[in-house]
Structure formats: structure tokens, C-alpha cells
């Protein structure tokens, strides 16, 4: 089982879209995929038509349990989606309160990693959608993953957010035994705009080793897929956006070998 976290401290850069699109592409080639929504806003959860305000069980449960996390508890968190091979561990809005609680409860950084031990034979890939805030939830995502994917919007304001994220990765690496490798993916790329073109050039200059060669273009199909609650590749497998994510996926799987 491979665990990838998708994170950036900047909002609206395409994190949730990256999770959903990669999950769809992985399922298409026969992999079993678990998506975990760690964002209290629950965009990924809402995407698949679950209401983060109404759920009986969510990732929240992992953080308020008094005892060891059990197999049954993890099973109770798994929800089906519109795709057979993809399951979801949903978020609830109550997770917004966790950041405050975490100060009282030391050692909350490994709850997701501990839960994943119970499903390691069931899934080939786990994709974790992280909130755009550095706190206990993002720390859980970074601690549980083997590889980190950082979507970065190709505009100059996003570069600042990316610098912050890279500093966070260095901080996390000081605490981890094994170095966390990451891939930056340029998103919302529009080659007709000077802002996109020069931002991509800057990304190449600053992060030559981490930058993905796959560039995700602006593509309205992503929004259409999210409105329908389906993975983008099932709505339009030939779209430019899906093609770019397929290229990204090939390079990520290649790196893993």
C-alpha cells in the first residue's frame, strides 16, 4: 500500500481535484484506492454527496477515541463512492475543533497512520486530502504518507504559499526518520497568460528537482465533474486536464520503482 498526501498551505490550488482525478485514474487501471478527507470543510466528502454536517462517523472519530484505534472502528469510517474500487474516509465539520484539542492531547500526530495499519492489505493506494492550514490534521497527513504531492497554482501569489509549504516540509523532515520526498505540480496553467508562463519558469528555477514535468492546465471539465460527483476521467477521459493528470501519475509510479 502506497500513501500519498496532497497538501499545500495555500487554499484553492487544486488539492481536492488532484485527489479525485488521481483516484479515478488509479481505479481505472485496477487499483483499489482509499481517499481520506482531512479538511474540516469536507470538500472531498461533499464531492461524493456526503454531508460533512450530518455524518455519524468520520475521521473525527480517530481523534477523540480514548482507546487504541480498532479494525472495527476503521471499518465504520469507510464509505462507498460512485466508483467501485474507490472508497472514502469522510470529514465532518466537527474536525475544525481538533486543532484546539490537539494542544491538550499530546501525541495526536500519528492517528491517521495508526488507522491505516488496519487497511494496509485492502488498498493499493491511499490519497490524503489535507486542509490548507498547518495544524494537527496536516501533520497527520505528512506523517502518514510515503510521498507528498504539492499542487501549486501558476500565479505569483501562489509562489509565496509554496515557500511556506517547503519550509514546513523541512521542519517535518527534522522529526521524521525517513526523508519525505515531494513533487510540486503546477496547476491552473494557461499558456496564453504571461503570469502563468513566467510563474512556471520561476518554479523550474527554484525547484528543479521537485517540479513535475506534467503541468495541469485550466480545464472547465474539472468543475463539471465535481458538480456531477463523478471522477473527471469518467466524465471525459480525453480532456486535456485528465491527460495531464495521467502523465503525472505515470511519472509518480515510475519514481516509486
- Binding interface with ligand ATP (CB under 6 A): 11-17, 39, 43, 132, 187-188, 216, 218-219, 222-223, 226, 241
**Residue placing its CB nearer to ligand ATP in the complex, 32 or 224:** 224
**Residue placing its CB nearer to Mg ion in the complex, 43 or 111:** 43
Rounded Cα–Cα distance for residues 251 and 213 (Å): 8
Report what 17 binds from ligand ATP, Mg ion, none; CB cut-off 5-8 Å by kind.
Answer: ligand ATP
As measured in angstroms, the least distance from the Cβ of 156 to Mg ion is: 21
> Is residue 130 a contact point for Mg ion (CB under 5 A)?
no
Rounded Cα–Cα distance for residues 110 and 251 (Å): 28
Report what 154 binds from Mg ion, ligand ATP, none; CB cut-off 5-8 Å by kind.
Answer: none
Edge-first strand listing for the sheet containing 147-153: 79-80, 86-89, 33-37, 125-129, 2-6, 147-153, 181-187
As measured in angstroms, the least distance from the Cβ of 235 to ligand ATP is: 12
Report what 40 binds from Mg ion, ligand ATP, none; CB cut-off 5-8 Å by kind.
Answer: none
Rounded Cα–Cα distance for residues 207 and 159 (Å): 11
> Is residue 226 a contact point for Mg ion (CB under 5 A)?
no
Report what 187 binds from Mg ion, ligand ATP, none; CB cut-off 5-8 Å by kind.
Answer: ligand ATP
> Is residue 43 a contact point for Mg ion (CB under 5 A)?
yes
Rounded Cα–Cα distance for residues 23 and 109 (Å): 25
Buried b (16+ CB within 10 A) or exposed e, 231-257: bbbebeeebebbbbbbebbeebeeeee
If you search the block for the grid coordinates 504559499, which residue do you land on?
161
Instruction: Report the interface residues with Mg ion, using CB under 5 A.
Output: 15-16, 43
Amino acid at each position: 500500500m502506497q500513501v500519498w498526501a496532497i497538501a499545500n498551505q495555500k487554499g484553492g490550488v487544486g488539492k481536492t481535484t488532484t485527489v479525485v482525478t488521481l483516484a479515478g485514474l488509479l481505479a481505472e487501471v485496477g487499483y483499489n484506492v482509499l481517499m481520506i478527507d482531512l479538511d474540516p470543510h469536507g470538500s472531498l466528502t461533499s464531492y461524493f454527496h456526503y454531508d460533512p454536517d450530518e455524518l455519524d462517523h468520520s475521521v473525527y472519530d480517530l481523534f477523540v477515541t480514548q482507546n487504541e484505534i480498532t479494525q472495527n472502528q476503521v471499518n465504520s469510517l469507510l464509505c462507498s463512492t460512485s466508483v467501485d474500487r474507490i472508497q472514502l474516509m469522510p470529514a465532518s465539520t466537527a474536525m475544525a475543533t481538533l486543532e484546539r484539542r490537539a494542544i491538550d492531547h499530546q501525541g495526536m500526530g500519528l492517528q491517521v497512520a495508526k488507522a491505516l495499519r488496519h487497511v494496509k492489505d485492502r488498498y493499493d493506494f491511499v490519497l490524503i486530502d489535507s486542509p490548507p492550514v498547518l495544524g494537527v490534521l496536516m501533520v497527520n497527513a505528512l506523517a502518514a504518507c510515503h510521498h507528498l504531492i504539492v499542487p501549486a497554482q501558476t500565479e505569483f501569489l501562489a509562489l509565496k504559499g509554496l515557500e511556506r509549504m517547503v519550509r514546513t516540509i523541512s521542519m517535518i523532515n527534522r522529526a521524521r526518520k525517513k526523508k519525505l520526498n515531494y513533487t510540486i505540480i503546477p496547476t491552473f496553467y494557461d499558456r496564453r497568460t504571461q503570469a502563468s508562463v513566467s510563474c512556471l519558469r520561476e518554479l523550474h528555477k527554484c525547484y528543479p528537482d521537485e517540479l513535475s514535468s506534467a503541468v495541469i492546465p485550466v480545464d472547465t471539465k474539472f468543475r463539471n465533474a465535481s458538480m456531477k460527483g463523478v471522477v473527471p476521467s469518467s466524465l471525459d477521459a480525453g480532456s486535456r486536464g485528465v491527460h495531464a493528470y495521467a502523465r503525472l501519475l505515470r511519472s509518480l509510479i515510475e519514481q516509486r520503482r
